[in-house]
Structure 1
Amino acid sequence: FSGKVTSSTLGLISTIGLGLGFVIAVSSFLAAVTERRREFGIMSSIGLADEVLYFFLVESAVVFLTAFVVGVLAAGVAVALVIPGIATVTAWLQGAAVTAMFLPAMAIVGALVPVHRLLQQRPVSLLEAR
């Protein structure tokens, strides 16, 4: 019984953490898009709108992969320090695998939401924005 309680509690905590991480990543990409509007306006005006999308997908993949590695390592260390009885290598690998399943979808959606908003605007309006 205690294994199920511990498993469900850790599952709930990791789901909340995954959701919050996704919201933070999307908001940071929205800020990045806002800061680089003029750059993307120039790129779009010379016909490089597809490259803007590709640029953000690659950036998103790098950011999410780095966050995944740092998050999984930090979570493993935190659980090992706080609850050493459940911190096994198998449990850590299972948690990393479950999180890794969501990684590609989160990276793509995390980049597409801000870029979609950017590409809906005309290049001229992006160039005149401050």
Structure 2
Amino acid sequence: MTAEHYLRFWHPTTNRETGLEVSQVGQVVTAAEKALELYREAGVEDFPGLSLSRGKDIPEDTLNIGVSLDGWVLIHTNEDFWQTVTRSTEHPGGPLRRVIFDDSLEISARCFIDWDLAIEAIAHWLNGNGLLDAANFSEDLDSK
């Protein structure tokens, strides 16, 4: 059985936080789909961000997830608060995408990976196996 993790996301117009305990990747996918639907219904062009942590008040070793229509970005923050981000080997780049966590963050389109790979990487992390090599985590948070 997988340990409980805490997942949170924010409403696009009220910034109200929704938080829940999750133990399986399917629960993360369901929450991501719900968040994306809220954003589309609100008519905002930004994308939802979800924060997945080892517990409700544990800020280190977190996985932040940006959800767009054509891929997801994963940003890992380790125990020393150093961040790495996924990098697509197939995406040509493009404009920055605004993702809303508790604050907004502009992220290069090159950081968004195929959602199947993102889900595999999330499951890998949830099960305590660290970061999935195939997701191409990089320290390069800024380049387009």
Compute the TM-score of the two structures, normalised by the length of structure 2.
0.22
Larger Rg belongs to: 1
- Of structures 1 and 2, the one scoring higher in RCO (CA 8 A, sep 6+) is 1
Q: Which has the higher strand share?
A: 2
